[in-house]
Amino acid sequence: MHPLIDARTLARARGNDDLVILDVRWRLTGPPGIESYRAGHLPGAVFVDLDRELAGEPGPPGRHPLPSPEAFQAAMRRAGVNSGSQVVVYDDADATAAGRAWWCLRYFHHERVRVLDGGLRAWTEAGLPLETEAPSPVPGDFEARPGGLPVLDAEGAAAVAKSGILLDARAAERYRGEIEPVDPVAGHIPGAVNAPTWGNVGVDGRFLPGRVLRERFAVLGATDAAEVGVYCGSGVTAAHEVLALALAGVPAALYVGSWSNWVADAMNPVATGF
């Protein structure tokens, strides 16, 4: 199944009994996504809270560690996801949050999941309606089984940085260590290559064509012939980058704890600059 779906195709699929639409709008510094959801969402969409349902409790493992299989399964069942559901996830536009939902579902072995390319913006620009009423889905039977996609821990990320290609999906100034708005230490994992997520989408928030993404990542050394890993601040935007790499035909592992986990251990080295 192709990872993306466009607004018109999704609108035509809305009558399908097996379709589940998840609104995962989220911003690092707020406001909470539920406020945007209540103001207007895709018809039938169920809100999923990224901080509480697509991640575990913050701590040394990171600001957005993996949710437990039991917690993720319960969240998806509450949202009406069945084992055979066709799930479509969306955020405001650029799949920063939707990429995390896509990744989590794939990691827990749900194959039928797609991202609405361009998100809510693409939907409204197509002249399609929104609603404010929250649905009450019938609980689903989804079973969460870890291991559907590869992951890295700190040791694995360090190894990939040495022998493969470790991409840092954060903004260049955070990678260089010039600023750090969230975590206590600025800089990057030694050997990592900067590949900000904004380079994966156009000004409309839609992903660039696969061939363009392939060229972008190839310049950085990330090809299907290399061992590729990705991290960001806390494993959210890096999941978006894993999705972009998938569109480019490049398998990649996610360092879920990312920078927030790396700097939790004072023994881990930190690099600055390029």
- Give the per-residue pLDDT at 29: 77
Same domain, 109 and 175: no
Asked if residue 162 belongs to a domain, the reply is yes
pLDDT, averaged across the chain? 97
Same domain, 110 and 191: no
Alpha carbon distance 72, 240 (integer Å): 19
Same domain, 203 and 109: no
Same domain, 24 and 100: yes
Asked if residue 215 belongs to a domain, the reply is yes
Asked if residue 269 belongs to a domain, the reply is no
Contact yes or no for 7/122 (Cβ under 8 A): yes
- Give the per-residue pLDDT at 15: 83
**β 86-90/113-116 pair status:** parallel
Asked if residue 133 belongs to a domain, the reply is no
Report residues of the chain scoring pLDDT below 50.
Answer: none
Active-site entry in 232, 247, 250, 252 = 232
- Give the per-residue pLDDT at 32: 83
Same domain, 192 and 94: no
- Give the per-residue pLDDT at 28: 82
Last residue of a domain, one of 125, 141, 174: 125
Alpha carbon distance 240, 263 (integer Å): 22
Asked if residue 121 belongs to a domain, the reply is yes
CATH number at residue 205: 3.40.250.10
Same domain, 119 and 161: no
Asked if residue 145 belongs to a domain, the reply is no
- Give the per-residue pLDDT at 91: 98
- Give the per-residue pLDDT at 27: 87
Asked if residue 104 belongs to a domain, the reply is yes
For residue 118, the enclosing domain spans 4-125
Same domain, 9 and 121: yes
What total number of domains does the chain contain? Answer: 2
Q: Scan for tokens 């437990």, then name that residue.
A: 68
Same domain, 113 and 46: yes
Same domain, 88 and 170: no
**What residues pair up with 151 in beta bridges, in sequence order?**
254
176 CB-contact burial (10 Å; exposed 0-12 / middle 13-18 / buried 19+): middle
**Residue 232 designated active-site:** yes
pLDDT tens, position by position, 212-233: 999 999 999 999 999 999 999 9
Sequence-distant (6+) residues with CB within 8 A of 143 are: 73, 83, 109
DSSP 205: S
Same domain, 157 and 116: no
Same domain, 112 and 166: no
Asked if residue 270 belongs to a domain, the reply is no
